[in-house]
Amino acid sequence: MTSLMVSMMAFVAGVKDRLSSEKGATATEYSLLIAFVAFAIMAGAIVFGEALSTWFSDLGDEIGTWAVEPAAPAA
């Protein structure tokens, strides 16, 4: 009778540990965080995309007008 009781208690403890485990929750939380970051990047690209494109084009035009002088030869 005692060994049966110990076996049942071990079985119940094992089931309880499996039900209270939070290993799967971590993966779910990380996937939700990644989805949130992806949506934030997409929203930023939609909202600021045209303004950033214009800014970089203007910057490229400005840099393109800079004159580059050749380095003086070493004496």
In a domain, 44, yes or no: yes
pLDDT (0 to 100) of residue 69: 74
For residue 52, the Cα-to-chain-centroid distance in whole angstroms is: 22
40 is a domain residue: yes
What pLDDT was estimated at residue 45? 86
Can you give the residue range of the structural domain that contains 45?
24-60
Q: Does any domain span residue 35?
A: yes
Length reported for the chain: 75
- Give the per-residue pLDDT at 38: 95
pLDDT of res. 40: 93
pLDDT value of position 58: 93
Per-residue pLDDT of 9-66, as tens digits, reads: 777 777 777 666 666 667 788 888 999 999 999 998 888 888 988 999 999 998 888 8
The answer to whether residue 11 is domain-embedded is no
CA dihedral 31, 33, 34, 35 (to 10 degrees): 90
* The two three-digit tokens of residue 27, written as one number: 């993966």
